[in-house]
């Protein structure tokens, strides 16, 4: 999960607008990249088409481990999700682009309704490049300078899970998680007069390691109506520099719930809610970063469309309202997303391909900063 290098030209006014509440931090190319980074959904492209509404029920989304219970066929899934952002402050616009592979997953059936899965998904993405101009006084002379900050890094979630379909109407599951990744910052200062003054370069790297357990369940209450619950219990989350632990927080605890209705043939409707305790990561953060707990809401539908070689195309739509976890003040970055998608069978039922498109709008109260983003999803599932 790496971001395409993008050079950004920031004025001091842009920096000041981002840094509310009297705090100070480095200019960044995205409201979503504040703090430890943007919370990558890490859901399947099918679920992305409903903007997260099917996450608790989707076997190819590593959120609720019970969703894989009863799977009777091996499934391999891979997807990509580039994002294109435009940040606007005042009358100034800056654009960034991000290329991610947010999810790799395999599900393996066992016996008696048991299945296991292994997945690697994005958790937090913090990659950006910024550039500011200024001046420095050297030997009594004022010299123009250019300061460039390049941040490359991400934290991923590696999960192994087992799900069990106890009876046709009830599933349960258990998952074990390893959260690991790194952030590497490179600061470079160059001078306008390169013959008299040499540039400076400084780099630093922080690595992260933590673990968690997740539990989940799904039950069909009546015909056509099902509910799902999941909970992630976080353990220690370490920030390390050169193998020395500098700070310890906890992997954020998460509680999710959803209701699904599929009583109409060829259609599925779902609404969901999740609470993520991002403040568990506050001990790892600097004084410039505030980690806030988030409540997120989802709603979406999947409907069978025209048939392709005897199999229906699936049409999807959804809406979500999210609170992003990190900011430079007590104000929280709010995000709304509207999206849709389509799923098409290929090679009959041996494989399928999914597309999704989401439009995200983000804003930070107390500033004029707004961000608009397009998230494009492409996923392939193979059932050998």
Q: What is the model's pTM?
A: 0.84
Whether domain 9-382 has CATH 3.40.50.2300: no
Side-chain half-sphere CA neighbours of 178 within 13 A: 8
Higher pLDDT, residue 377 or 33: 377
Q: Quick one: 337 exposed, middle or buried, by C-beta within 10 A (0-12, 13-18, 19+)?
A: buried
Q: Taking the domains of the chain in order of start, what are their residue ranges?
A: 9-382
The DSSP H or E segment spanning 46 is: helix 45-49
Quick one: pLDDT band at residue 29, thresholds 50, 70, 90? low
Higher pLDDT, residue 116 or 12: 116
pLDDT of 252 > 60? The answer is yes
pLDDT of 16 > 70? The answer is no
Q: How far apart are CA 296 and CA 370, in angstroms?
A: 19
Query: What is the per-residue pLDDT across 47-98, written as a single tens digit (0 to 9) for each?
Result: 999 999 999 999 999 999 999 999 999 999 999 999 998 888 877 787 877 8
Q: What is the pLDDT of residue 2?
A: 32
The DSSP H or E segment spanning 47 is: helix 45-49
Nearest 5°: phi and psi at 49?
Answer: -65, -25
pLDDT of 32 > 50? The answer is yes
Q: How far apart are CA 196 and CA 143, in angstroms?
A: 10
Higher pLDDT, residue 361 or 330: 361
- Report the range out of 71-75, 175-179, 193-197 with the highest average pLDDT: 175-179
Query: What is the per-residue pLDDT across 111-130, written as a single tens digit (0 to 9) for each?
Result: 899 999 999 999 998 876 66
Q: Quick one: 272 exposed, middle or buried, by C-beta within 10 A (0-12, 13-18, 19+)?
A: buried
Q: How far apart are CA 128 and CA 328, in angstroms?
A: 17
Neighbours of 54 (CB within 10 A): 31
Closest CA to 66 of 153, 161, 186, 190: 161
Q: Are 353 and 346 in contact (CB under 8 A)?
A: yes
Quick one: pLDDT band at residue 131, thresholds 50, 70, 90? low
pLDDT of 11 > 50? The answer is no
Average pLDDT, the chain: 86
Neighbours of 259 (CB within 10 A): 17
């Amino acid at each position: 999960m790496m971001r395409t290098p993008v050079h950004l030209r920031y004025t001091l006014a842009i920096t000041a607008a981002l840094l509310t509440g009297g705090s100070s931090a480095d200019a960044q190319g995205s409201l979503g990249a504040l703090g430890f980074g943007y919370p990558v959904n890490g859901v399947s492209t099918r679920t992305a088409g409903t903007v997260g509404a099917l996450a608790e029920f989707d076997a190819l989304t590593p959120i609720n481990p019970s969703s894989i219970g009863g799977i009777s066929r091996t499934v391999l899934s891979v997807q990509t999700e580039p994002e294109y952002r435009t940040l606007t402050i005042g009358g100034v616009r800056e654009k960034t682009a991000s290329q991610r592979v947010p999810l790799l997953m395999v599900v393996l059936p066992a016996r008696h309704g048991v299945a296991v899965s292994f997945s690697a998904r994005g958790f937090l993405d913090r990659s950006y490049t910024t550039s500011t101009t200024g001046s420095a006084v050297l030997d009594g002379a004022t010299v123009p300078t250019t300061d460039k900050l390049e941040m490359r890094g991400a934290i991923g979630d590696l999960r192994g899970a087992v799900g069990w379909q106890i009876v046709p109407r009830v599933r349960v599951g258990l998952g074990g998680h390893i959260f690991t990744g790194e952030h590497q910052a490179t600061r470079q200062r160059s001078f306008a007069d390169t013959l008299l003054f040499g540039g400076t370069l400084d780099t630093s790297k922080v690595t992260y390691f933590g673990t968690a357990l997740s539990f989940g369940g799904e039950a069909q209450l009546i015909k056509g109506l099902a509910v799902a619950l999941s909970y992630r219990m976080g353990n220690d989350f370490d920030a390390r520099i050169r193998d020395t632990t500098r700070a310890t927080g906890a992997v954020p605890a998460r509680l999710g719930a959803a209701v699904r209705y599929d009583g109409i043939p060829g259609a599925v409707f779902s609404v969901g809610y999740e609470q993520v305790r991002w403040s568990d990561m506050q001990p790892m953060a600097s004084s410039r970063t505030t980690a806030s707990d988030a409540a997120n809401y989802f709603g979406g539908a999947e409907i069978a469309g025209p048939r392709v070689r005897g199999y229906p195309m699936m049409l999807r739509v959804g809406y979500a309202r999210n609170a992003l976890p990190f900011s430079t003040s007590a104000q929280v970055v709010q995000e709304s997303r509207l999206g849709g998608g389509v799923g098409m069978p290929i090679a009959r039922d041996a494989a399928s391909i999914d597309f999704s498109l989401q439009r995200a709008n983000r804003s930070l109260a107390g500033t004029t900063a707004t961000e608009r983003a397009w998230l494009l999803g492409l996923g392939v599932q193979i059932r050998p």
